[in-house]
Amino acid sequence: MGKSMSRVLVIGGQRSGKSRYAESLVTTSGCAPIYLATATAGDGEMAERIARHRDRRSGGWRTVEEPLDLAGALLREAHSDAVVLVDCLTLWLTNVMAAELPVEAESAKLVAALGKVRGSVVLVSNEVGSGIIPANALARRYADALGTLNQQVAAAVDRVVLIAAGLPLVLKPAPAGEVKL
């Protein structure tokens, strides 16, 4: 990524290697790494996940915890000498829904902020739409909202990388030789 501004979405399934890949993008950029954490430790298992992520990063990272105002945090933290890693949109959306905030409006604020940031940003999100349709209404509403958010963010960023089994597959920009009608 270097000193030029770039916005990247890293997407994939649970335990696909998304966060590790995103962290490597940030650490090889040559810029100051900022970890914008959206998770909250609601139980012991989640606290352990957060600790594992924290332990994996070197001491050079600055961590900013922001479970709800992601757009505001990006506008404050993203500058030309740093790369902000947002980990992750999946948990941020959970927080927005749990707080009963308007999902469409909060998503629109985030996408608008991506167009205004002054530095590089790497966003991590889960792909939840590849499995079966959830059995309950809340889970379906969540999957639909995350699918829509992922599409909106993918349209707003420069690059989209799908991680499958730890391997990066570049989706945007389209690979050379793409079939066009």
Domain boundaries, the chain: 7-129+140-172
Is 79 an annotated catalytic residue? no
Average pLDDT, the chain: 90
**Residues contacting 144, CB < 8 A, separation 6+:** none
Report the percent of the chain where pLDDT is more than 90: 74
Statement: the pTM of the whole predicted model exceeds 0.85: yes
Q: What is the pLDDT of residues 58-67, one digit of tens each?
A: 778 999 999 9
Domain 7-129+140-172 has CATH 3.40.50.300: yes
Q: Average the pLDDT over each of 16-25, 129-138, 157-166 and give the range with the smallest value.
A: 129-138
**Residues contacting 33, CB < 8 A, separation 6+:** 26, 27, 57, 60, 61, 62, 82, 83, 85
Task: Identify the active-site residue in 22, 25, 53, 96.
Answer: 53
